[in-house]
Amino acid sequence: MKLESYWLDTAPAFVGGAQGPVMGRADVVVIGAGFTGLSAALALARRGASVTVLEAGRVVGEASGRNGGHCNSGLAHDFASLAQRIGVDRARAFYQAYDAAVDTVEMVIAREDIACDFVRAGKLKLAAKPEHYDKLARACEVLRREVDPHVEMVPRSQLQDEVRSDSFFGGLLQKTSAQMHMGKFGVGLAEAAARNGARIYERAPVTKMERRADGTFRLSGPRGQIEAKQVLLATGNSGTGPFSFLRRRMISVGSFIIGTEPLDQALLDRLLPHRRGYTTSKHIGNYFRVSPDNRLLFGGRARFAMSNPRSDEKSGRILQATMEVIFPELRGVRIDYCWGGLVDMTADRLPRAGQHDGLYYSVGYSGHGVQMSVHMGQVMAEVMAGRPECNPWRELDWPAIPGHFGKPWFLPIVGAYYRWQDWRH
């Protein structure tokens, strides 16, 4: 079993990276070569800007290349609850931003001819309890009325046509959701940005950043120094570097995934005939999908812990046991991959993007980052060109999380609370 991301292990090598020291000047320096940073670099370079991307590790080596492979429409929230809190019009705009984000991913893939197994197979949210189905049915009614005609309920009587398991009581189907190979997409996005003129440096962390009197920036690291007119922070909740503003406002939570050996086609046709993306309705739930080479990729927040090889392996054993309960026919299949990644959560689970102390940023996608990160890279290129109204999150305030200074000491307490909620409801 490999303790590494299936997406990264099966991605092609990135060959368009910049060589030599970091030096000179750029119109824009993008910090971070995940989906946000690479999408922004591509959009900015296509506009004629000189762009340098500085990545501490490898291209899409962190959250962008370590997720479950889902590219979903819809919010992380119950729409009706969010609408009650912030108003129907605002909630609708946020929901539509996520729908637009999936369209953006599809547009970039088509325009740049990225071979990444993109398909709109839909997402099915599975009710883990009968009362969860009732809640999903009410949510579906509101969604169809207010914002999304492309949703429908799958009752338990029809669920065996979707998922051959006795663990669920029906589900909510969002037809416009998609999936793709994250590693192939990320490398393809990087190659497209480089092809359009962006200089992408891997293993080039930023350790110091200065804003000068004229409003420009000087960024330094072990590979050299560069000056920039504008800087975009696309780092996520980076644990290193001069980014304490971000670290105080997001909580990084571990999410873990296993990948089986390639499975028999007939078995997959029986278990998951439509090859959708699947999530479950518990707070500490699971998500799964079939890979392009017929593996079941099965993930979830198995433990409220950070990701490292030992933690990933412990979580992988929990995930395998859960997978075998849901799909008894998979008992004894070999697990080829086990990995973890960090999900950057904001307190309200809505993204944040804008400008702070002269720096632009787009972060905090809270478990729905695949599509929104690509979309916001394109959006931030517009914002940095003088169109702040393009940013759907521009009016959200973003106070620091009380008592949080970068290390999430309270994760075990949060985990215990959600387990209690799952038991109670």
CA dihedral for 115, 39, 102, 366, sign (positive or negative): positive
With 50 as the cut, is the pLDDT of residue 183 above it?
A: yes
Asked, for residue 423, whether it belongs to a domain, the answer is no
Kindly report which listed range (29-43, 169-183, 213-227, 230-244) carries the lowest average pLDDT score.
230-244
* Burial degree of 19 (CB within 10 A; 0-12, 13-18, 19+): exposed
Which tens digit of pLDDT belongs to each residue from 164-176? 999 999 999 999 9
Asked, for residue 424, whether it belongs to a domain, the answer is no
Torsion, Cα 260 262 266 271, to 10 degrees, reads: 20
Stronger pLDDT, 301 or 7, i.e. the higher one: 7
State what percent of residues in the chain have pLDDT above 70. 93
Which tens digit of pLDDT belongs to each residue from 288-305? 999 999 999 999 975 656
Confidence of residue 417 (pLDDT cuts 50, 70, 90): very low
Which tens digit of pLDDT belongs to each residue from 307-352? 777 788 999 999 999 999 999 999 999 999 999 988 888 999 999 9
**Range 239-248 average pLDDT:** 78
Stronger pLDDT, 241 or 360, i.e. the higher one: 360
Contact 180, 9 (CB under 8 A): no
Residue 416: per-residue pLDDT: 52
Asked, for residue 404, whether it belongs to a domain, the answer is yes
Which tokens hold the place of 87? 């108003």
Q: What whole-number distance in Å separates Cα of residue 229 and Cα of residue 379?
A: 18
Asked, for residue 425, whether it belongs to a domain, the answer is no
Output the average pLDDT for the chain: 93
Asked, for residue 93, whether it belongs to a domain, the answer is yes
Which tens digit of pLDDT belongs to each residue from 75-99? 888 999 999 999 999 999 999 999 9
C-alpha angle 115-119-124 in degrees, rounded to nearest 5: 145
With 70 as the cut, is the pLDDT of residue 423 above it?
A: no
Residue 254: per-residue pLDDT: 85
Stronger pLDDT, 175 or 241, i.e. the higher one: 175
Stronger pLDDT, 414 or 400, i.e. the higher one: 400
Rounded to 10 deg, the angle between the 79-86 and 88-112 helix axes is 120
Residue 110: per-residue pLDDT: 98
Identify the domain containing residue 333 by its residue range.
6-414
Confidence of residue 402 (pLDDT cuts 50, 70, 90): confident
Q: What whole-number distance in Å separates Cα of residue 205 and Cα of residue 54?
A: 7
Q: What whole-number distance in Å separates Cα of residue 280 and Cα of residue 277?
A: 11
Long-range pairs for 216-220 at CB < 8 Å and ≥24 separation? 217/29, 217/358, 217/359, 219/29, 219/31, 219/54
Asked, for residue 190, whether it belongs to a domain, the answer is yes
| Residues whose CB falls within 8 Å of the CB of residue 397, separated by 6 or more in sequence, listed in order | none
Residue 304: per-residue pLDDT: 56
Specify the number of domains making up the chain: 1
Asked, for residue 356, whether it belongs to a domain, the answer is yes
Residue 21: per-residue pLDDT: 98
| Residues whose CB falls within 8 Å of the CB of residue 229, separated by 6 or more in sequence, listed in order | 26, 27, 28, 215, 216, 217
Residue 401: per-residue pLDDT: 86
Residue 191: per-residue pLDDT: 98
How, if at all, do strands 51-54 and 199-201 pair? Answer: parallel
Asked, for residue 419, whether it belongs to a domain, the answer is no
Give the other-Cβ count within 10 Å of 15's Cβ. 9
Residue 161: per-residue pLDDT: 97
Residue 415: per-residue pLDDT: 53
| Residues whose CB falls within 8 Å of the CB of residue 130, separated by 6 or more in sequence, listed in order | 169
Domain CATH number, residue 86: 3.50.50.60
Which tens digit of pLDDT belongs to each residue from 112-165? 999 999 999 999 999 999 999 999 999 999 999 999 999 999 999 999 999 999
